[in-house]
Structure 1
Amino acid sequence: MIANFMLSMEIETIQDRTLCVLLNWELRFNIIMGIARGLLYLHRDSRLKIIHRDLKTSNVLLDEEMNPKISDFGLARILGGQQTEANTQRVVGTYGYMAPEYAMDGDFSTKSDVFSFGVVVLEILSGKRNAAFYKSDQNFSLSAYAWRLWKEEKVLDLMDRALCETCDANEFVRCVNVGLLCVQENQWDRPTMSNVVFMLESDTASLPTPKKPAFAASRSLFNTASSSSKADSYVDLTNTLEQGR
């Protein structure tokens, strides 16, 4: 029997004191780093360049040592040779994680995965569901909320309150900075995953200032796209057991 843990940090579940101990700052930072290295492998180090196209918290599994594993490659596409991007007439994915150029025009590339990674990072840091912002009266996205706090120099207010006792404030701010760089509206402004890994690993590197993110706040925009799964499968730590075959 192989034990796996699904990362989908439902805010109600994350308030459970037992699970909060599991999801301390060191663990969350390691999860972020692991996902970043996994995407870097897919984009650069794999024999084939793979675009996941549906990266989200519920598609990240944690093994028994709480190491993250990117899963569900059902929508993944392979780019051949020197190809860096492609286009599709059938947009599939999950609302709230799709980059604007993909949701609106069907253009996908490594930078669309970078956008999805940025949303995942902000969810992990805040313990908030991106879907909750889309359904709120304010109609904000999580990236818009994080951006507002960044501009107001209140970025620590984004922190999940369960992290207050364990969080490294400097690492937290660096992760928010990286997350916001990843969700910038123009894909050419977003970093590559190699740059993301470098920025997360470096304590001394000077990080760029993020530009205004793609808010993607309009539900009508994403209603034009198809979804491969429910958008509400976000932030909930569930322990799943997979029978060995």
Structure 2
Amino acid sequence: MKLLSHSIIMNHSGFAQPIGFCNGPSMWGIVFDFPSSSTLKDKLFDVTFTWSQRMMVAVRLAESLQYLHELEPSFTIRTVDKSQIIIDEDFNPRLITFGKRSNEDFFKKPNPLYLTRYGYIAPDIGWTGSWSTKCDVFSYGIILLELMSMSPVIDHSLGDKRYIMRRVPPRSQNGKLESAFVHEKLQHTDSYHEEDGVAVTELALLCAAWEKEDRPDMVDIVASLKSLEVIKDSPRLTP
């Protein structure tokens, strides 16, 4: 609770504001002041949740992660997934969970909650046991893929393609993506540019790279997103 009441959280619009907590013998919880009851999980398949609105969420979420990562010491989300992100009425994402210092040891301090985030947890956690900001980058990449494709991270009905990374369009012989991993309903809008779709797909795949050294920092992710036409075209999406 000390972290939750810290000025780094209370003074930032990217986090749901805590107003109390419960620490009983059989229950522990935190009470947040939610501007909306919708989570990203609730809105993921909503066809009225447009491409430009989704990119707004992508940019603002990336900025919040950048903010945490640039603190001294840095902080990580760790359990981030679409159910942990509240979307307010202006389509600003607010995080309702965040972790601790990024150098803590996973094996020394295991948490069953982390194990429920299958598909979002970076593979390097399994063989190093150490959290880092690049673990958040991996999770962010998966969320970005979900945002653009209107597709869940895991879909057991798809067999070999149940994991979202296996559903991304293949690359051609020259190494370029054959198409953007963007749902067709999102492409049929005035705010959508094919170049943006391909660029966001490439960015998401880079974030979700197997080797953490290949993943970009959040500052570079924010810069890439702000270079998209959909961002430059819309005053609401321009910081």
- TM-score for both structures, normalised by structure 1: 0.68
Matched letter for residue 151 of structure 2: K
Moved over 3 A (4+): 149-153
More relative contact order, 1 or 2 (CA 8 Å, 6+ apart)? 1
CA distance in 2, matches of 1:3, 1:70: 12
Aligned partner of 1:70 in structure 2 is 95
CA distance in 2, matches of 1:127, 1:173: 16
Match of 1:96 among 109, 119, 132: 119
Query: Does residue 38 of structure 2 align to residue 5 of structure 1?
Result: yes
SS of equivalent to 1:51: coil
Q: Deviations over 1:30-74 (max 9, x none)?
A: 111111001001101x4541111011111111112111112223x
1:137 deviates by 2.1
Is the contact between residue 42 and residue 48 of structure 1 (CA under 8 Å) also seen in structure 2? no
Aligned partner of 1:123 in structure 2 is 146
- Can you give the 5+ residue segments of structure 1 that lack an aligned partner in the other structure? 80-84, 205-245
Larger Rg: 2
Q: Identity across aligned pairs (percent)?
A: 24
Counterparts of 1:158-173 in structure 2, within 5 Å, are: 158-166=181-189, 167-173=192-198
SS of equivalent to 1:50: coil
Is the contact between residue 86 and residue 96 of structure 2 (CA under 8 Å) also seen in structure 1? yes
Change (3 A) 1:37 1:2: closer
- Can you give the 5+ residue segments of structure 2 that lack an aligned partner in the other structure? 1-33, 230-239
CA distance in 2, matches of 1:86, 1:2: 32
How many pairs were matched up?
187
1:183 deviates by 0.7
CA distance in 1, matches of 2:61, 2:202: 17
Counterparts of 1:26-105 in structure 2, within 5 Å, are: 26-44=52-70, 46=71, 48-73=73-98, 76-79=99-102, 85-89=103-107, 90=110, 92=112, 93=114, 94-105=117-128
Aligned partner of 2:4 in structure 1 is none
RMSD: 2.4
